[in-house]
Copies of this chain bind each other. A is one copy, B any other.
Amino acid sequence: MEERKNNAFNGAYSILSSEMRDLYPSIEILDSPPNPVTFLRKFVSQNRPVVIKNAINHWPGLTRWSEEYFRKKIGEFQVTVAVTPNGYADAISNGRFVMPEERKMAMSEFLDILFKPTQDKKGVFYIQKQNSNLKDEFSCLMEDVDAHISWGTEAFGAEPDAVNFWMGDERAVTSMHRDHYENLYCVVSGQKVFTLLPPTDLPFIPYESCPSAVYKETNEQFEVVDVENLDSIDDCSSEVSWIAIDPLEPDLEKYPQYSLAQPHTVTVNEGEMLYLPSLWFHHVQQSHGCIAVNYWYDMDFDIKWAYYKFLEKAVSYH
């Protein structure tokens, strides 16, 4: 009887995994944007990702946005750039959760670093500040895109909480994580590759608790500085629980349970949009100089959330 109970989790997780494999075998691609009803019924309600083509064809940004256009239009503007030695911002490295160095610079300097690299410039630079930066530091570019995705806004019942602008080095990687948002992610130039895992794969995804730290470049050398030694960052927790696995090179000896996870690899090309549902784990790579805009809409905290919290609690006993 005790033995049966001990095996309960594993048996239940394998049902969850096999149901999801059957119900979400692949990521659908739509040739045109769905209407709000179809989007809600087939995707949002079902927490099901989808790639949508021809949804942003009318954006001026799709033809305008280029190095030259940015130099002319916003070259002098100060922008916030995440800098790391290796492209990994917000990721576990040598037992620490390491955040990027945030650096302010003129957009033209960022473009020089990205497109005219010199030997003496160390590090990987990525514009990735997710505080609705498109409406803030890049507000001049708002005329080149939509302020919101109309059918998305109608479906979600409110305007987006944040609109973010992304641009950077091909070495810049977003490590696996999940957000409490419904996400409409649009690639304006270049290509992004998403590795997606459903929320139900949580039991197979290893988290580690680490002291948090930030990169800091001094004399062209990157140091890792623990947050607890920093006066300037007082809104960060000094300990962070983060996903320890790299889905591109999973260490299955250390984390054998990850072999049961079911990653979907989705390429989002120029002019395409990904609906990335709330709570889906995602890891993102990009082509060099890729430019993207994403819309974060509030998620509904409903039965799916309650089930997720249940899973989280069950997993915490392992």
Residues of A within 8 A of B (CB): 2, 4-9, 11-13, 15-16, 19-20, 23-24, 36-38, 40-42, 44-48, 154-157, 198-200, 300-307, 309-314, 317-318
Contacts and interface: CB of A to CB of B under 8 A. Distances in A.
A301 B306 CA distance: 18
11 contacts: A2-B2, A5-B317, A12-B310, A12-B317, A15-B309, A16-B310, A23-B305, A36-B37, A40-B45, A45-B45, A314-B314
Contacts of A19: 305-306, 309-310
Nearest to A13: B310
A37 B305 CA distance: 21
Nearest to A279: B303
Q: Is the interface of A mostly helix, strand, loop or mixed?
A: helix
What copy number does this chain have within its complex?
2
A317 to B, nearest CB: 4
Contact of A44 (B5, B45, B317): B45
A311 B300 CA distance: 22
Given A40-B37, A156-B41, A310-B12, A47 B302 contact: yes
B47 A317 contact: no
A303 B303 CA distance: 10
A219 B266 CA distance: 70
A303 B20 contact: yes
Nearest to A277: B303
Given A313-B11, A317-B4, A300 B40 contact: no
A50 B47 CA distance: 21
Nearest to A21: B306
Contacts of A310: 12-13, 15-16, 19, 200, 307, 311
A174 to B, nearest CB: 23
Contacts of A8: 9, 313-314, 317
Nearest to A24: B303
A155 B302 CA distance: 19
A300 to B, nearest CB: 6
A38 B302 contact: no
Given A16-B313, A37-B157, 20 more contacts: A2-B2, A5-B317, A5-B318, A8-B9, A8-B314, A16-B309, A19-B305, A19-B306, A19-B310, A23-B303, A23-B305, A37-B37, A38-B157, A41-B44, A45-B300, A47-B303, A199-B303, A303-B304, A307-B307, A314-B314
